[in-house]
Amino acid sequence: MVRTGAQILLECLQREGVDLIFGFPGGAIIDIYDELPNHPIRHILVRHEQGAVHAADGYARASGKVGVCLVTSGPGATNTVTGIATAYMDSVPLVIFTGQVPTQLIGNDAFQEADIVGITRPCTKHNYLVKDVRHLAFTIKQAFYLARTGRPGPVLVDLPKDVIRATAEFHYPETMSMRSYNPRYSPNRKQLRRAAELIAASSRPVIYAGGGVIAADAAGELTQLARTHHLPVTTTLMGLGAFPGTDPLWLGMLGMHGTYTANMAINNADLLISIGARFDDRVTGRVDAFAPRAKIIHFDIDPTSISKNVMVDVPIVADCRQGLVGLMEELARVSGVDWRGKHATWLAELATMQREHPLTYAPGGEYIKPQWVVEKIYEITQGEAIIATEVGQNQMWAAQFYRYNRPRTFLSSGGLGTMGYGFPAAIGAQLAFPDRLVIDIAGDGSIQMNIQELATAVSYQIPVKVVILNNGYLGMVRQWQELFYNKNYCATCLHINPDFVALAKAYGAEGFRVERAEDVEPVLRKAFDYPGPVFVDVRVEPEENVAPMVPAGAALSEMLLV
């Protein structure tokens, strides 16, 4: 049957099971918006294209589905770049549709023309410029296939206006394969056997898990491996929730703001079992001093991540879930090992570290402690909320002082560190799970990066709760200035902030301010029970620091405890 390009696009989205897209219209894609009411796809009108991508990203991270957004050409397209790069760094499956000027005007500096394919080439898994409507359906099928398979990531499809208006026979491929793209899901059995032998020979092993475990839906297998073989577990920021944060084998997050125990465990381990993590610089610190006593096993679906930053002894290219299942099969063949007794001394040593060097802060004093606010959020929600964060101190306190027992409950920009991510991501997560409590833990600097999306939340009555840890600073940069630049607080003091409560009310949301410690819990409870979007402005200790901290370029063993 003959369809216009706009009709083909929307039919393809339905075939892919898309029922929700985040977008902002414009002239180049007005034909798609003209067709949109004829299809059962819910469209969320954001207030900025960056918000659209972050919202689609939050939807994808929380649900495990592919997030979709639709924007126009030129500035509409370029406004998505930060969100695309954010998703790319954290391996989040997105498909972004951008409008483009008519094909005959491409390269002519036409109105609202931008080479978005060229601009996004370094930060997409793949991208396309569709020049012929007859190729549109196949391209969209391929885009979704690429986004969700292998190492997930964002894929962009650029749609010239004349292609959208042209007509063609509609045929949607049932299946997809690409000769040059064959992700490897099954692990090499010989390498699994080597890994099992190393684990059986090890007396001081540590599992170091990353976001790849969550992407592969392998949290259950990871937990089974650790508990069966009495293996202590640490995760990256992206891996929070891959292993229960209340389990006795949990060491806390590792890296720059990781726990003393996790970092020292890495330093003293004789075997590191890395699963779905990529050894980024925030985790390793000084690479030549990372895990100096350990042999390293590395599971990853992306072969280019193997030995990219740290040389490994046993590389296993595979889907994390299939890799873990295979490893447990090989370990089951190892006979005569008393796993509990074998690792008892090591686990006791780590438990002593945790007692002697827990995550802590100085309570009381004149101001509300931000860490205590996060602990209160955990206590009230019993760990059942989906937590999104902005980036900075708020992000690290949310990672340290909230316990994540399930995957897809912690949403944060890890690789790119994008301020302004959390609020629109929380909107996306809330739309994925309308009946769950979704909280954005924010700073007063970062919330202002995409605060316009409060209009989106109010328009659709998306009941996201935003808890602003308001310290009047760009806190993480100020902390670095304090510790490493002789307290030269240049351009980090936010002398003028908006009245967040009045601002929330101006948008039509609810707002509360908290200035006394005794008001924190009752106000949080009131906010969490409120049926619509809420801002809670908590005035916290202005110069509180995130601790521990590994200085940039230092080894994990050189961490500062206060």
Q: What is the pLDDT of residues 20-50, one digit of tens each?
A: 999 999 999 999 999 999 999 999 999 999 9
- 364 pLDDT band, cuts 50/70/90, is confident
Predicted local distance difference test score (pLDDT) of residue 16: 97
pLDDT for residue 225: 98
DSSP-derived secondary structure letter, 178: B
Tens digit of each residue's pLDDT (9 = 90 or more) over 480-489: 999 999 999 9
DSSP assignment of 464-524 equals -EEEEEE-SB-HHHHHHHHHHSTT--TT-B------HHHHHHHHT-EEEEE-SHHHHHHHH
For residues 132-141, give the mean pLDDT.
98
Question: Which of the four pLDDT bands, split at 50, 70 and 90, describes residue 336?
Answer: confident
Q: Decide if pLDDT at 348 tops 90.
A: yes
pLDDT at 150 over 80: yes
pLDDT in tens, 166-220: 999 999 999 999 999 999 999 999 999 999 999 999 999 999 999 999 999 999 9
* SS3 category, 329: helix
Residue 365 pLDDT class (50, 70, 90 cuts): confident
Angle at alpha carbon of residue 438, lines to 149 and 472, rounded to 5°? 110
Q: Is the previous residue joined to 548 through a cis bond, with omega within 30 degrees of 0?
A: yes
Is residue 553 scored above 90 in pLDDT?
no
Check pLDDT > 90 for residue 363.
no
Has residue 549 got a pLDDT over 80? yes
What's the rounded Cα separation, in Å, for the pair 206 and 534? 41
pLDDT of 562 over the 80 cut? no
- Mean pLDDT across the chain, nearest whole number? 97
Confidence band, pLDDT 50/70/90 cuts, at residue 318: very high
How many helices (H) does the chain have, and how many strands (E)?
Answer: 23, 20
Other beta carbons less than 10 A from residue 342's beta carbon = 18
List, for residues 371-381, the tens digit of each pLDDT value.
999 999 999 99
Which of the four pLDDT bands, split at 50, 70 and 90, describes residue 552?
confident
Which is it for strands 2-4 and 167-169: parallel, antiparallel or unpaired? antiparallel
Tell me the average pLDDT across 73-89: 98
Give the three-class secondary structure for 555. coil
Kind and range of the H or E run holding 17 = none
3-state helix, strand, coil in the chain (%, to 5): 45, 20, 40
pLDDT at position 325 is 98
Predicted confidence at residue 525, as pLDDT, reads: 98
Strand order across the beta sheet in which 67-71 lies = 42-45, 20-23, 67-71, 94-100, 154-160, 126-129
Tokens of 458: 């109010």
Q: Give the whole-angstrom CA distance, residue 505 versus residue 411.
A: 26
Distance CA(485)–CA(483), nearest Å, equals 6
- Residues serving a catalytic function are 49, 111-112, 161, 476
- The answer to whether residue 1 scores a pLDDT higher than 90 is no
Kindly provide the b/e burial profile for residues 281-303, where b requires at least 16 CB atoms within 10 angstroms of the residue's own CB: ebbbbbeeebbeebbbbbbbbbe
